[in-house]
């Protein structure tokens, strides 16, 4: 929705002013909610925000699957996705760092960023493919586009359900590494204590 929502909205006939309004709301939410969610993550930890964000993402996926032609629902879902992306950006890094430590969090963040960019590429290519498949006489077939996007939104909702389920069993406990890492770090701690 974040990558293709505005283009797709214009193709299926969502009000252009509403799409512009959604862009403004997106910017305002990011500016205002980013710091507020950051404070909440500092106080409560990243896991609770990740759980809320993952669960929140299910509703727009279901709504868009069935009611995407409604301007209000389309814009509402766009705004909710912006909230989700902001919450994810603010909470995922601190949670990973708290559980796995600083060094490993950099590696994991790189993997997650790479997978995220792969997902962005996949959605963009899918959207472009849909526009080619659903073209008749040089014009996009709105019904065909809506069906293809509805399937994509439904798959997104299923993935959000799975991630919500997995996050319910996730714990914020520190990951315990093998003995060799603890042995390597032990002399450093002893030297610091002696000084």
Domains of the chain: 5-194 (1.20.1250)
Placement of tokens 């949670």 in the chain: 95
Could you report the per-residue pLDDT of 139-158, keeping only the tens digit for each? 778 788 888 888 888 888 89
Task: Report residue 183's pLDDT band, with 50, 70 and 90 as the boundaries.
Answer: very low
Q: What is the pLDDT of residue 180?
A: 47
Could you report the per-residue pLDDT of 107-145, keeping only the tens digit for each? 888 898 898 888 888 877 877 787 788 777 777 787 888
Give the E-state strand segments of the chain in sequence order: 135-136, 139-140
190 has pLDDT over 60: no
72 has pLDDT over 80: yes
Q: The pTM is what?
A: 0.74
Higher-pLDDT residue of 58, 135:
58
CA distance 35 to 87: 10
Phi-psi region of 45 (alpha: psi -120 to 50; beta: other; left: phi over 0): left
CA distance 92 to 69: 33
CA distance 142 to 57: 25
Task: Report residue 182's pLDDT band, with 50, 70 and 90 as the boundaries.
Answer: very low
Is 49 in contact with 85 (CB distance < 8 Å)? no
- Enumerate helices (H) and strands (E) in the chain, giving the number of each: 8, 2
Taking the CB of residue 194, how many other CB atoms lie within 10 A of it? Answer: 6
Q: Give the residues across from 135 on adjacent strands.
A: 140
Could you report the per-residue pLDDT of 5-46, keeping only the tens digit for each? 666 676 667 777 777 777 787 788 788 888 888 888 888 888
């Amino acid at each position: 929705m974040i990558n293709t929502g505005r283009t797709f909205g214009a193709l299926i006939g969502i009000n252009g002013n509403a799409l512009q309004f959604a862009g403004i709301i997106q910017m305002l939410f990011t500016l205002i909610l980013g710091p507020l969610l950051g404070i909440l993550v500092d106080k409560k930890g990243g896991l609770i925000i990740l759980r809320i964000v993952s669960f929140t993402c299910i509703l727009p996926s279901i709504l868009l699957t069935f009611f995407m032609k409604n301007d209000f629902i389309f814009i509402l879902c766009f705004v909710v996705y912006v909230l989700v992306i902001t919450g994810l950006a603010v909470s995922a890094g601190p949670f990973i760092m708290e559980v796995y430590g600083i060094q490993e969090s950099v590696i994991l963040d790189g993997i997650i960023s790479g997978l995220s960019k792969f997902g962005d590429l996949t959605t963009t290519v899918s959207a472009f493919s849909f526009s080619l498949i659903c073209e008749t006489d040089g014009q996009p077939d709105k019904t065909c586009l809506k069906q293809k996007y509805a399937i994509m939104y439904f798959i997104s909702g299923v993935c959000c359900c799975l991630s919500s389920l997995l996050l319910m069993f996730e714990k914020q406990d520190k990951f315990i590494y093998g003995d060799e890492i603890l042995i390597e770090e032990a002399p450093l701690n002893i030297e610091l204590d002696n000084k």
